[in-house]
Amino acid sequence: MVMRALRTGTKPVLWILIAAFVGTIIFAWGMEFTRRPTARGIVGSVDGVDLRMEDYNMIYENALSQQQQKGDVTEEQAAGIRDQVFDQMVGAQILRKVIDKLGLEVTNAELAEHLRRFPPQEIRTLEYFQTDGKFDYNKYLQAFQNPDRQLWLQIESLVRPRLLQSKLYEYVTATTVVDDAEVKELYEAAGEKLKVRYILAPSFALTDSVPAPDSQTVRAYYNNHTEEFRHKERAKMRFIQFDKKASAEDSAEVQREAQDISKRARAGEDFSSLVKQYSEDNSSADGDLGWFKKGQMVKPFEDAAFALDSGQVSDPVTSRFGIHIIKCDGHRGIGDSAQVKAFHILLKVDPSSGTLSDIRLKAQQFAEDLKSSPLDTLAKSLSVIPRATPYFEKGAEIPFLGKAPAVSQWAFSAKPGDISEVFDLASGMVVAVLDEIQGEAIAPFAEVKSRITTKLRGDAAKDYAVSLLSRVRPQLLAGASMADVAKSMGRTVDSTATAFGRFDQVPGAIGDDPSFRGAAFALARTGDAVSPAVKVNRGAVIMQITEHSPADPQKFVEKRDSIMTAAFEGQKQLDFNDWYAKLRAATDVQDFRYQIPGEN
């Protein structure tokens, strides 16, 4: 029965496997798969081996689809996914090369034994291998013993690369060791928890109480700390961005579609079916927004929802998110407690392909006109304002554009005065002119003088904060309450509402501050009633411990095996990551994605 189900349902099974398979495609096929690229279809190279755009796009679309199932994907998140996909392809090719060099392989017997003992997670979720909604190993074993060739070739292609990677991982980490005493010490350190109360003297409030450093002091700091001001290769540019805005015709078209959907819903068509067919709200696949009160939704949506009777469907409502068709599912409460339950269909007002084409043509014409007219003059004729970036380094975010690898790649391969092609970024079409490029160097004094002045004055304010708190410490040691001491300083006492460890964020306003944590645990070691005044990120503090919970050494004894195993596996991961980082740094990786329209 299982095999009949598999054979008659091979296509959906394979689609699910293919979705998982694309993540291993480059690793599995390696150089042989990527040997015949064309210049137009390459996104990069690894030691001269090309990475195909077709593979890049397939893996990206799969990763993007998975992320969209969790909710809306922002432009920044999409850019991050593209970077992760590129890094994944690079990493797969690097590891493939090492595996080939070492001669590592997975035999058919090893593969079969692994599949028999460890069914892939992708298989476990298929209904063909489930009984009453749960994975049925007996069904899986029956299919395994009577294999459908097409299906199991796909499974093999999915699992074999993973086993190869696992063999490489074990090869690299074969010499990893962990020290029992060190693990115990780290366990006890991590298990120790504190609560404290403290007085914070914030440096920002004391800046006006300290003099600004004179020019000689600023210059001396620069001369003695020149390496602090060393920068990598960096560039400056000016650019014009043609925003991707929907045209009036685009908005009218979406409005007409919304009117039609609203009429159909009012005529009695099933609203949930219309939601599934038309809604573009990824955060609410069924359109159910639940109960909400006034102030929780954008104003136009809120006004329309509260004005509807239960069961009533609204006319199209426009908000900054798009156009909504709302169905009221009930009211409850009165006055400030009034709530409404609603479903909605969201239609986003995005620029059409025709509008995007018009914007691109406008940007391309601008780039062409730049060949004969200065950017500022041309921008003025179009009533647009060019933006000039400060220096930015290769691979870093570009001021005003954010993470835009396409633009960064161009900037660091161009010459001053060069005009870029049109960059199709998520937010708009960009045309840039490179103004300056600098190699690695120490920034001149004039450039960093203001930064040094601010730092020195901030340091002086922290020193002053320490002196203020040091003066009142004797009162605390003599038994005065921290609340009274704080009041005399015009400050208040803060405390950590929950306990924190050596590696935790400090609850409350302090946040992630190693200096604060260090001072707290140093106070626990000394057993003093009050800490010295200590510099922290926000100024200076003086503190008292209100609760101290040491780690229980007996728990280490009881759980020693599992703790040592976790520590060993963690150290293996660190060793492998360090090995890979060195290998990656020594690899010639070229990124050509800036040549792809729409890549940012």
Q: Do both 241 and 219 map to the same domain?
A: no
Tokens of 100: 């080939």
- pLDDT value at residue 33: 37
Choose the weakest-confidence range: 44-48, 189-193, 328-332, 420-424: 189-193
Choose the weakest-confidence range: 231-245, 276-290, 542-556: 276-290
Q: What is the mean pLDDT of residues 479-493?
A: 95
- pLDDT value at residue 221: 97
- pLDDT value at residue 39: 44
Query: CA gyration radius for the chain?
Result: 31
Q: What is the mean pLDDT of residues 358-364?
A: 95
Q: Do both 29 and 93 map to the same domain?
A: yes
Is residue 475 pLDDT above 90, yes or no? yes
Q: Do both 87 and 223 map to the same domain?
A: no
CATH code, domain with 391: 3.10.50.40
Q: What is the mean pLDDT of residues 553-571?
A: 87
Tokens of 329: 């599912």
Give the percent of the chain with pLDDT over 90.
Answer: 65
Q: Do both 284 and 404 map to the same domain?
A: no
pLDDT averaged over every residue in the chain: 88
Q: Do both 109 and 168 map to the same domain?
A: yes
Q: Which residues have CB under 8 Å from 513's CB, separation 6+?
A: 506, 536, 537, 538
Q: Do both 166 and 37 map to the same domain?
A: yes
- pLDDT value at residue 22: 42
Domain membership of residue 325 (yes or no) is yes
- Look up the domain containing 338 and give its range: 248-347
Angle at 584 between CA 580 and CA 587, to 5 degrees: 140
Q: Do both 241 and 254 map to the same domain?
A: no
Domain membership of residue 185 (yes or no) is no
Tokens of 85: 């996909």
Domain membership of residue 261 (yes or no) is yes
Q: What is the mean pLDDT of residues 186-209?
A: 92
CATH code, domain with 145: 1.10.4030
pLDDT 10s digits, 324-335: 999 999 999 988
Contact 27, 165 (CB under 8 A): yes
- pLDDT value at residue 64: 86
pLDDT 10s digits, 137-158: 998 888 888 767 777 788 888 8
Nearest of 329, 341, 431, 429 to residue 379 by alpha carbon: 431
Last residue of a domain, one of 410, 439, 468: 439
Domain membership of residue 566 (yes or no) is no
Choose the weakest-confidence range: 52-66, 230-244, 474-488: 52-66
Domain membership of residue 90 (yes or no) is yes
* Furthest C-alpha separation in the chain: 88
Last residue of a domain, one of 439, 468, 492: 439
Q: How far is CA 293 from CA 236, 281, 310, 331, in A?
A: 49, 20, 15, 10
Contact 204, 516 (CB under 8 A): no
Q: Do both 70 and 203 map to the same domain?
A: no
Q: Which residues have CB under 8 Å from 151's CB, separation 6+?
A: 6, 10, 13, 14, 17
Is residue 565 pLDDT above 70, yes or no? yes
- pLDDT value at residue 1: 32
Contact 158, 24 (CB under 8 A): yes
> Which helix (H) or strand (E) is 507 found in, with range?
none
* Counts of helices then strands in the chain (DSSP H, E): 22, 20
Domain membership of residue 405 (yes or no) is yes
Q: Do both 408 and 325 map to the same domain?
A: no
Is residue 31 pLDDT above 70, yes or no? no
Domain membership of residue 577 (yes or no) is no
- pLDDT value at residue 62: 85
Query: Which strands form 317-319's sheet, in the order they lie side by side?
Result: 288-293, 339-347, 322-332, 317-319
Domain membership of residue 60 (yes or no) is yes
234, β-bridge pairs = 393, 438
Nearest of 593, 595, 596, 588 to residue 93 by alpha carbon: 588
What is the C-alpha to C-alpha distance for residues 123 and 136, in angstroms, rounded to an integer?
11
Q: Count the domains in the chain.
A: 4
Last residue of a domain, one of 403, 419, 439: 439
What's the whole-model pTM score? 0.65
Q: Do both 457 and 415 map to the same domain?
A: no
What is the C-alpha to C-alpha distance for residues 588 and 426, in angstroms, rounded to an integer?
29
pLDDT confidence bin for 597, thresholds 50/70/90? low
Is residue 2 pLDDT above 80, yes or no? no
Q: Do both 301 and 357 map to the same domain?
A: no
Is residue 10 pLDDT above 70, yes or no? no
Q: Do both 138 and 34 map to the same domain?
A: yes
Strands 193-202 and 288-293: unpaired
- pLDDT value at residue 599: 55
Strands 234-243 and 428-438: antiparallel
